[in-house]
Chains A and B, each alone.
Chain A
Amino acid sequence: MTDPAAVVAFWALAVLAIVAGLGVVVSRNLFHSSIFLIGVFLSVAGLYLVLSADFLFAVQIMVYAGAIAVLVVFAVMLTQQVERGNPENIQWPFALFVAIALFGIMAVLLSGAIFPENRIDQPAFPSTETLARGLFGPFVLPFEIASVLLLAAMVGAIVLAREDQR
């Protein structure tokens, strides 16, 4: 990807995504964490646009930043603890070591990997028609199963969260 606008956009969005991700896990205030989570979702949406995934850019904003983030904010507000805060549990040094070790291994391997990149074909843009042909063609079975999964999740969430019938 040599287009200078794309390069600048990638670096800006990458830094934004990392800073927002660190904000999610480091912030003392749980509500600030959820705002940083919205920042992660929006940076990832921008990265989709850099990768010519226009439909995913719109869907990411609608589903993640528009629905899941609101759900997380609701959960944060409804389960407010008296001693507000976002503390780490007792195994946080091991978690930090595991996360850094995993990133180290992955970064070393991924930066040295050589992939058979296809630089000749241009990506399908807009991507909506290609995605639709894929979803209703070869991937129609996962598509139908995903709709059943969403129905099950909706019923399950309602049953779990309703008032007890006494």
Chain B
Amino acid sequence: MIVTLNHFLVLSAMLFSIGLYGALAKKNAVAILMGIEVMLNAVNIAMVAFSRFITPIALTGQIFAIFILTVAAAEAAVGLAVVFAIYRRRDTVDADRINLLRW
């Protein structure tokens, strides 16, 4: 059995779809952010797999993955701070109840 680039990409697609379901279908804001983190990890797998199989000397995909990781960390910190601030004010983290800006 040989493992090719396509195996890693299908795995990345599966993990991305799972994260997408979590981000779309959950009520709790922290659960939505967890789904987003799963999606970002799936994309990182695809990046590193491309780097390994197509440009193994230049490692461009891994540099890209480092930047995705950095941005995901910053976004998780700010997102969870926002969720916490909303919880302190409204005593809820239910995404259906945080609807002041909705039409």
**Interaction A to B:** yes
Interface residues of A (CB under 8 A from B): 1-2, 6-7, 10, 14, 17-18, 21-22, 24-25, 30, 33-34, 37, 40-41, 44, 47-48, 51-53, 55-56, 59-60, 63-64, 67-68, 71-72, 74-76, 78-79, 81, 86-92, 94-96, 98-100, 102-103, 106-107, 110-111, 113, 115-118, 121-124, 127, 130-131, 134-135, 139, 142, 146, 149-150, 152-154, 156-158, 160-161
CB distance from A154 to the nearest CB of B (A): 7
Name the A residues within 8 Å of B13 (CB-CB): 102-103, 106-107, 110
Cβ contact within 8 Å between B6 and A113: yes
Given A14-B11, A56-B48: A98 and B24 within 8 A (CB)?
yes
Chain A interface SS verdict (over half): helix
Chain B interface SS verdict (over half): helix
Cβ contact within 8 Å between B4 and A1: yes
Cβ contact within 8 Å between B62 and A7: no
Cβ contact within 8 Å between B56 and A71: no
Q: Contacts A52-B56, A103-B17 known; list 9 others, CB within 8 Å.
A: A10-B7, A24-B35, A25-B38, A40-B41, A47-B48, A92-B25, A95-B20, A102-B17, A107-B13
- Interface size on B, as a range, is 35 or more
Name the A residues within 8 Å of B60 (CB-CB): 134
Cβ contact within 8 Å between A99 and B92: no
Name the B residues within 8 Å of A68 (CB-CB): 37, 72-73, 76
Name A99's contact: one of B18, B27, B51 (CB within 8 Å).
B18
Name the A residues within 8 Å of B87 (CB-CB): 78-79
Cβ contact within 8 Å between B15 and A21: yes
CA–CA, A118 and B59, complex, Å:
13
